[in-house]
Structure 1
Amino acid sequence: MSSRTDPPREGSIDRGFTLRGERGSGTEPSVSEPSRDDVFRTVFGLGAADVRTYDAVDEVPSSTTRELADHLDRDRSNVNRSLNRLREAGLVTRVRRLLDSGGHVYQYSVVSDHTTEDVVARAVDRWRSTALDVAASE
């Protein structure tokens, strides 16, 4: 039987924390700083393709799905799915632009840094609450 203070087994996932001391001793876990990708994946449930799409939107603001697909060398439908997940997470906005020739396109941009901080803070709070509920029920 393994305890939380044992080193990770080969092939196990590093969750970014280890406990120091005995359980219930009041010792806080030592938490490694997560990367932005870790936060996006853990808190928002985004995949690697979604994170790459976010980076592309950040690099090429006000871009269309076609422009992003070309930039990422990915199929437009896959990029569109990533954009929808990023919009649902509140990390990307979409603006409809009418074309002179008729029709419209959507242009995507990342939200401001301040808004991103708020979105992440709310998502972390929800994730934390859910994690505590799950931990308490087991």
Structure 2
Amino acid sequence: MGESTTNATVFECRECGSVSLGDSETTCCGAEMVSADATPVEHPELAVVLREVFGVSRTGLTICVCLMEAGDSTAAELADRLDLDRSTVARQLNHLVEIGLLDKRQRLLTGGGYVHVYSPVEVEEVRERLTVGLYAWVAEALDLVEEIDRRKVKALARSDGGEEAAGIYWDG
């Protein structure tokens, strides 16, 4: 992946240890928040972020790229172009609409009825939609991390720190 253009920094509260993401220092519980050393474990690639955070499969990514190249299309047109089952394409298209990569509208047919037409969303709008979605995902991930911390403390209090404590990371 290329160089990041985001200037956001991770801040940690000196008092309570809360962590915040931002582009300027803030305060928490009345204490100063200081820049924290927070190097990602691994620099993510766009395909990995789309798959892991937004649930975009390889097929979904292929469909999205095809639609961007072809312009407005129906599920049937994309299925023919990609030699995929129409129901698979429709399911993927609906997911891509749900996460904000594509728009969907109805086109009336001359013989009656309608068909859904999908179109790519402008890049800036996609960036904004994905940013909001990513922040929501991060908030949920942080809630899970907090839950792990609470469970870890409880498990350590109940055990000698051995195998039982290690199991809290892997149970369902």
Fold-level similarity (TM above 0.5) = yes
TM-score bracket for this pair, using the shorter chain length: 0.7 to 0.9
- 4+ runs of 1 displaced by more than 3 Å? 30-33
Task: Please name the residue that 2:105 is paired with.
Answer: 95
1:107 aligns with 2:117: yes
Tell me which of 134, 137, 147 is aligned to 1:124.
134
Higher relative contact order (CA 8 A, sep 6+): 1
1:44 aligns with 2:58: no
CA RMSD of aligned residues (A): 1.6
> For each residue in 1:27-62, what CA deviation from the matched residue of structure 2 results, as whole angstroms up to 9, or x when unmatched?
322455433212211221121111111111111111
* Percentage of matched positions with identical amino acids: 35
Which aligned pairs between 1:1-138 and structure 2 lie closer than 5 A?
26-30=36-40, 32-138=42-148
Q: What stretches of structure 1 of length at least 5 have no aligned partner?
A: 1-25
Asked which structure has the greater CA Rg, the reply is 2
Q: Distance in 1 between matches of 2:75 and 2:40?
A: 41
Q: Give the deviation of 1:100 after TM superposition.
A: 2.1
More strand, by proportion: 2
Q: What stretches of structure 2 of length at least 5 have no aligned partner?
A: 1-35, 149-172
TM-score of the two chains, using structure 2 as the length reference:
0.61
TM-score of the two chains, using structure 1 as the length reference:
0.74
Q: Give the deviation of 1:95 after TM superposition.
A: 1.6
